Structure 1
């Protein structure tokens, strides 16, 4: 029954009730008059109250029944209107939820694009760092870093809305959408935590190397000072070649020091190690450590300690590089790497967005 028909019925019933009530007041006058039909005669009436009540009550009762029915009819109509409003409100809420989920997917797509670019940039920087460190384990290589705030932006999107977006728009494309949803957050956590861990490892390595280099520089100053004392000494050493080896060491070291100062960069510890190793080899080959005086032995010991510290740096670097390469492999190079999983999910989201936009046109 349409709203228009309901309105007509309601109007008719209201008028009918009003007419019956009005008629109940004039009915006693009408029915107590002399009738033109002998068969219908109400003139033999009893008490006036009984007469009026007996005549008016049926019409009032009928009007009451009609108004009661009308009240129920209005209640039914009100319930129907309320139900329709509730359904409309529910549909609007569902539509709003769908649109919010869709917009969150679009935002997620933008953030994933930024994360993929961020991972690519960081991996390229990491690869350059590995290559430079492998070529010269003593050099102070810098690992360029970028902000990891892109990962936090994804975590700020309500997971419930992202899940709803996957349910509405990804599920028609991929039946394993719940698995992809979990993979997304696992990959994001792995990437952000992984880069933070790598940065912490690299910083610890650099700090440790820097501390050792400070010690090496102090010991090199001492080697240089002791070497000058040996060269200026008038004592006759049993091995005349020792002074010559010390002289070569200091000459080559000062030349390297001058080159580093001219280029305004850190000393080339790789070259310094070559100079020191060459000195030790020359002394052992030409003289033999056992035949050295105490002064010579202590000098050789200082040079040897510097070489050991340089070896410590090289050993630390040799342990660092495999960890970096393993992370790089899991993050970027493998077929099921973290970035490939993110790209796969990003492509699914892109397909869902394009499909939805196409249907909405």
Structure 2
């Protein structure tokens, strides 16, 4: 309550003092008019008369004015205290307004970043889903998991968390426990999501590197197998030159036929990866290569079973072809293990009710709805 300089008591005391002082000037006449004579010589000295009559009134007025002076000093002190308290209150209100204003904009910035993050997550999820679909196919094609930049994740974590917490206290329309729960949920999600995608991309990089290395090893083993098959063909060709028969008779030998068939079909499969301009249009089909090796092994085993004096060199080819087919199978298993693991993590992340993305969207909507109830001009 504002303290007034001129309250009723002050005005009353001043009026009383003024009346008493005025009354003191006419009091000698009033108190002597009923005497037998107006002649003051009969009632004493004029000065004594005036002094004796006026002094009590002057003294009373002085007492009242002295009291009034002390009272005014008290009032002045009260006014100073009130002004000091009002200044403190104004500063406190200003700080509170500034805190609410800053917190409002911090929460608004938070919502903007959350919207960007949710959109980025949706884009990441599309790319992961496409990768899973491609990787689930029964082949050894190297698929790329494309990623998007994650700068907003670090930006949002760099926002002053104290200001965000203040914003929750000011604008989130829930009890204290619910505010704290929402705040902790938000930052747990914001800390988890970047780590989640980092883990996915790190695992992908590791898997991709191992997968490419496995394919490289398989290609090398295939080249070695073809070299060994060529050596068998050359060996029989050199032997045929020493024979009185036609040099082309060696082409009729079963061992040479299956080796020639292996080499021919291998390069036919390789050629399918190129167009007429010798530009690569697709990766080599390892399923066809595996099927080629399977047929080669069957033919080689047939030779070993039915021909007494077969070329024992094909034993080595059978062993190598079987080993290559096993590596192709293992590469597919490696691929299936990775894609199934990725699929499980991805499905948990996007689960409609309890998934991480659903929780983030729910938290963001909760904050947005609470903030919409406030007008920045009425903070």
Q: TM bucket by the smaller chain?
A: 0.7 to 0.9
Worse-matched range after superposition: 192-201 or 63-72: 63-72
**Within 5 Å, which residues of 2 pair with 1:205-284?**
205-234=207-236, 235=239, 240-261=253-274, 262-264=278-280, 265-284=282-301
Q: Structure 1 residues 359 and 39, CA, compared in 2 at 3 Å: closer, same or farther?
A: closer
Structure 1 segments unaligned to the other structure (5+ residues): 16-33, 43-57
Q: Structure 1 residues 173 and 102, CA, compared in 2 at 3 Å: closer, same or farther?
A: farther
Tell me the SS of whatever aligns to 2:145: coil
**Within 5 Å, which residues of 2 pair with 1:30-45?**
36-39=46-49
What are the superposed Cα offsets for residues 195-253 of structure 1, whole Å, 9 maximum, x if unpaired? Answer: 1001111110110111122222222222222222222322589x942322222211111
Tell me the SS of whatever aligns to 1:124: helix
Which among 333, 336, 340 is matched to residue 318 of structure 1?
Answer: 336
Tell me the SS of whatever aligns to 1:135: coil
Q: Does 1:6 align with 2:23?
A: no
Q: Structure 1 residues 39 and 299, CA, compared in 2 at 3 Å: closer, same or farther?
A: same
Name the residue aligned to 2:195.
193
Name the residue aligned to 1:167.
169
Q: Structure 1 residues 41 and 109, CA, compared in 2 at 3 Å: closer, same or farther?
A: closer
Is contact 2:173–2:370 with CA below 8 Å preserved after alignment? Answer: no
TM-superposed CA distance for 1:40, in Å, is 5.0
Distance of 1:280 and 1:130 partners within structure 2? 33
The structure with higher relative contact order (CA 8 Å, sep 6+) is 1
TM-superposed CA distance for 1:156, in Å, is 1.4
Q: TM-score, normalised by structure 2?
A: 0.74
Distance of 2:312 and 2:70 partners within structure 1? 125
Tell me the SS of whatever aligns to 1:260: coil
Is contact 1:260–1:266 with CA below 8 Å preserved after alignment? Answer: yes
Tell me the SS of whatever aligns to 1:139: coil
Which among 90, 93, 97 is matched to residue 91 of structure 1?
Answer: 93
Q: TM-score, normalised by structure 1?
A: 0.78
TM-superposed CA distance for 1:65, in Å, is 7.2
Distance of 2:123 and 2:343 partners within structure 1? 16
What are the superposed Cα offsets for residues 72-116 of structure 1, whole Å, 9 maximum, x if unpaired? Answer: 433322211110011111111112211222212211111111111
Name the residue aligned to 2:28.
none
Name the residue aligned to 1:131.
133
Tell me the SS of whatever aligns to 2:146: coil
Question: Aligned residues, how many?
Answer: 329
What are the superposed Cα offsets for residues 15-70 of structure 1, whole Å, 9 maximum, x if unpaired? Answer: 9xxxxxxxxxxxxxxxxxx973433569xxxxxxxxxxxxxxx9999988766655
